[in-house]
Structure 1
Amino acid sequence: MSKNYVQLISKINQRSNPDLVQMKALYAEENATSKLFENKKLPNTEVYIYVQKAMKGVAPEYTTNSKTAANQVEAHLRKSHGNDVHFERQGSVMTNTHILKDNDIDLVQITNKSKGVDHDRLKSSLANPKLLDPIEFKNLKKHSDDFRQYEGNQIIDLKNIRRQSEDILSSTYKEIDIDKDNSIYVLVTSLNVM
Structure 2
Amino acid sequence: MPCADHASCDSCLEPGDSSEGCFWCHASGTCEMASIGTEPFGECEDPSYARGMCACAHHTSCGSCAVATNPACVWIGPAELRGSVEYTNNFFFTSFATRQSMSSLSVRAGGCHPGWGFGAFGLVQNATLFNGGMGHLSVQTELVPDEYFWAQCSLPNEGSALLMMGAIAAAAAVLSALMGAIFPQRPKRAISELPLI
Provide TM-score, normalisation by structure 1: 0.25
| Structure with greater helix share of residues | 1
Q: Which has the higher contact order (CA 8 A, sep 6+)?
A: 2
Larger strand percent: 2
